[in-house]
């Protein structure tokens, strides 16, 4: 089967081309027409039947506007600060940016990220790509190899139907290339799928070809089929075993050298002269090292698209990423702000040193760290004070276990505001999340699709 060569604007992107954030915003606007009902926990029962847009327009208060506990909220101020910070950071370091959408799976946040200069959005699995496409995302980087024939058939049709759709995904094995080729041929693909060879982060790491020789063999397999086109190399430095700045820097150096070696060997010959060679890495823990190493990419035969994929920055957290953020190592670059707060209510106080709230595993991320008790809002007078002496010690399905020191004054009915760890498993527990200002005014709602 002969596969039609794709035009230049279907590639990983022109250096001056920007995604059309307005089209995404138009698609996202329709979410405001969805009706509020029993599907969305924590929202006011008396709002049932209102559209999301109408409820947002009421600007209810999170604490006095009829919301029920537990309820997860995002700080409007923190989200905006984090979006602006990464936009400035990537511009300052000459990086393109495709934040990993699996962190939030929120079209409203995708739209905001594109408005703040994102090149596109990163996905992990084909289902996420389908969600992105439903909301108008035109540039998608899939950080995984796709060998599902049904998903590849859908992708082939999507590429054929939309000349503005740019899609790039990993390949890391000759067998994967073979399966992709078979599926795309069977689907009657009319455009080759752009791929990047994934360099694994080391022996015992996650996915990716383990050696440069393995990567070359994968590139040879791509060159031998008409359904795929090699456009770059990529990987994930967060999986470097026993990661340290030195180890991460060494692996990133290998990735850059792989791109340069492929280019010198003419492996990107299917790209037009003004198309970009994709060089991609960057989770949320080491993007400072990525920026450092990518600053010294040698001159290639075509422009380099230095693509960062960090996603957890948009909400940040009060646990895992608070300790790992590169801004802790380079404070002059700025500081991310935790945006999550889970509010739960004390429902039992069986002893002076123990209390229970009505939020548990169904509500709070717990795969890396337990929630962190931060503030107490009194049920008596609405006053707020630090949660000094209150510690979350465990989670049941629908209860949080608290240890309380003497003098905390915690009572049944009080609200506890808790910080959360690991955004990737916080968003997936809530389908409609209030966006609240510091005084509790809810200015909008974020829809998620997991």
pLDDT beyond 70 at 3: no
Domain match, 311 and 391 both: no
- Is 195 among the domain residues? yes
Domain match, 100 and 224 both: yes
- Is 3 among the domain residues? no
pLDDT beyond 90 at 1: no
Q: Which residues contact 227 (CB under 8 A, 6 or more apart)?
A: 1, 3, 180, 181, 184, 185, 189, 192, 193
pLDDT given at position 12: 55
Task: Please tell me which residue, 422 or 132, carries the higher pLDDT value.
Answer: 132
Quote the pTM value: 0.94
Task: Please tell me which residue, 19 or 268, carries the higher pLDDT value.
Answer: 268
Average the pLDDT over each of 2-6, 48-52, 102-106, 256-260 and give the range with the smallest value: 2-6
Query: Which residue is associated with the tokens 């006053």?
Result: 383
pLDDT digits (tens, 9 = 90+) for 214-263: 999 999 999 999 999 999 999 999 889 999 999 999 999 999 999 999 99
pLDDT, the chain, mean: 94
Domain match, 181 and 205 both: yes
- Is 328 among the domain residues? no
Last residue of a domain, one of 283, 315, 347: 315
What is the C-alpha to C-alpha distance for residues 321 and 422, in angstroms, rounded to an integer? 7
pLDDT digits (tens, 9 = 90+) for 277-321: 999 999 899 999 999 999 999 999 999 999 999 999 999 999 888
Contact 284, 312 (CB under 8 A): yes
Q: Is 307 left (phi over 0), alpha (psi -120 to 50) or beta?
A: beta
Domain match, 347 and 275 both: no
Query: Which residue is associated with the tokens 């717990």?
Result: 366
Contact 163, 174 (CB under 8 A): no
Last residue of a domain, one of 282, 315, 348: 315
Q: b/e per residue, 6-18, with b = 16+ CB within 10 A?
A: beeebbbbeeeee
- Is 320 among the domain residues? no
pLDDT beyond 90 at 16: no
Domain match, 19 and 51 both: no
pLDDT given at position 2: 37
Counting the structural domains of the chain, the total is 2
Domain match, 179 and 53 both: no
pLDDT given at position 19: 53
Q: b/e per residue, 172-211, with b = 16+ CB within 10 A?
A: bbbebbebbbebbbebebbbbbbbbbbbbbbeebebbbee
What is the C-alpha to C-alpha distance for residues 253 and 275, in angstroms, rounded to an integer? 23
pLDDT digits (tens, 9 = 90+) for 92-145: 999 999 999 999 999 999 999 999 999 999 999 999 999 999 999 999 999 999
CATH code, domain with 397: 2.40.37.20
Helices 174-186 and 212-223 pack at an angle, to 10 degrees, of 20
pLDDT given at position 4: 39
- Is 325 among the domain residues? no
Average the pLDDT over each of 336-345, 377-386, 393-402, 418-427 and give the range with the smallest value: 418-427
Q: Which residues contact 240 (CB under 8 A, 6 or more apart)?
A: 201, 202, 205, 247, 248, 251
pLDDT beyond 80 at 443: yes
Mean pLDDT, range 2-27, rounded to an integer: 54
First to last CA, the chain: 37
pLDDT beyond 50 at 7: no
Band of residue 17 on the pLDDT scale cut at 50, 70, 90: very low
Four-residue CA torsion sign, 326, 331, 337, 338? positive
Q: b/e per residue, 83-106, with b = 16+ CB within 10 A?
A: bebbbebbeebebbbbbbbbbbbb
User: What is the chain's length?
Assistant: 450
Last residue of a domain, one of 284, 315, 346: 315
- Is 346 among the domain residues? yes
Domain match, 369 and 436 both: yes
Domain match, 85 and 202 both: yes
CATH code, domain with 208: 3.20.20.10
Query: Which residue is associated with the tokens 């108008």?
Result: 136
Q: Which residues contact 92 (CB under 8 A, 6 or more apart)?
A: none
Q: Name the E strands within 261-405.
A: 277-281, 304-308, 340-351, 354-357, 372-377, 384-386, 390-395, 400-404
Domain match, 142 and 222 both: yes
Domain match, 291 and 398 both: no
- Is 322 among the domain residues? no
Domain match, 213 and 160 both: yes
Q: Which domain holds residue 210?
A: 8-23+77-315
- Is 64 among the domain residues? yes
Domain match, 265 and 220 both: yes
pLDDT given at position 202: 87
pLDDT given at position 5: 37
DSSP state of 380: T
């Amino acid at each position: 089967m002969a596969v039609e060569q794709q035009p230049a604007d279907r590639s990983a992107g022109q250096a001056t081309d920007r995604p059309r954030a307005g089209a995404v915003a138009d698609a996202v606007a329709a979410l405001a027409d969805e009706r509020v009902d029993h599907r969305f926990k924590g929202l006011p029962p008396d709002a049932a039947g209102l559209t999301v847009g109408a409820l947002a327009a009421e600007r209810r208060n999170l604490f006095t506007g009829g919301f029920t506990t537990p309820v997860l909220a995002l700080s409007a101020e923190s989200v905006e600060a984090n979006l602006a910070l990464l936009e400035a950071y990537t511009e300052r370091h000459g990086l393109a940016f495709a934040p990993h959408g699996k962190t939030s799976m929120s079209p409203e946040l995708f739209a905001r990220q594109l408005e703040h200069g994102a090149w596109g959005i990163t996905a992990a699995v084909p289902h996420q790509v389908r969600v992105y496409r439903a909301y108008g995302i035109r540039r998608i980087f899939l950080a995984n190899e796709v060998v599902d024939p049904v998903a590849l058939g859908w992708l082939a049709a999507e590429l054929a139907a939309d000349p503005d759709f740019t899609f790039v995904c990993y390949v890391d094995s000759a067998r994967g290339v073979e399966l992709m080729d078979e599926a795309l041929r069977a689907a009657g693909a009319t455009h080759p799928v752009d791929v990047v060879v994934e360099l694994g982060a080391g022996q015992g790491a996650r996915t990716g070809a383990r050696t440069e020789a393995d990567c070359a063999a994968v590139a040879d397999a791509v060159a031998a089929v008409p359904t795929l086109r090699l456009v770059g190399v990529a990987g994930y430095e967060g999986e470097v075993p026993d990661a340290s700045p030195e180890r991460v820097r060494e692996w990133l150096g290998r990735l850059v050298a792989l791109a340069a070696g492929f280019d010198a060997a003419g492996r990107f010959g299917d790209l037009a002269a003004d198309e970009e060679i994709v060089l991609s890495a960057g989770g949320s823990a080491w993007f400072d090292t990525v920026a450092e190493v990518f600053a010294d990419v040698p001159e290639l035969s075509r422009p380099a698209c230095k693509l960062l994929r960090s996603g957890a920055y948009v909400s940040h957290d009060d646990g895992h990423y608070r300790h790992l953020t590169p801004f802790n190592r380079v404070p002059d670059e700025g500081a991310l702000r935790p945006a999550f707060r889970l509010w739960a209510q004390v429902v039992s106080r069986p002893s002076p040193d123990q209390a229970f709230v009505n939020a548990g595993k169904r509500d709070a991320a717990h795969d890396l760290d337990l929630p962190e008790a931060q503030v107490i809002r009194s049920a008596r007078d609405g006053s707020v004070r630090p949660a000094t002496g209150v510690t979350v010690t465990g989670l049941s399905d629908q209860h949080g276990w608290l240890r309380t020191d003497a003098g905390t004054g915690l009572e049944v009915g009080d609200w506890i505001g808790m910080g959360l760890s690991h955004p990737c498993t916080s968003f997936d527990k809530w389908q409609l999340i209030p966006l609240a200002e510091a005084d509790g005014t809810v200015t909008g709602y974020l829809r998620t699709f997991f």
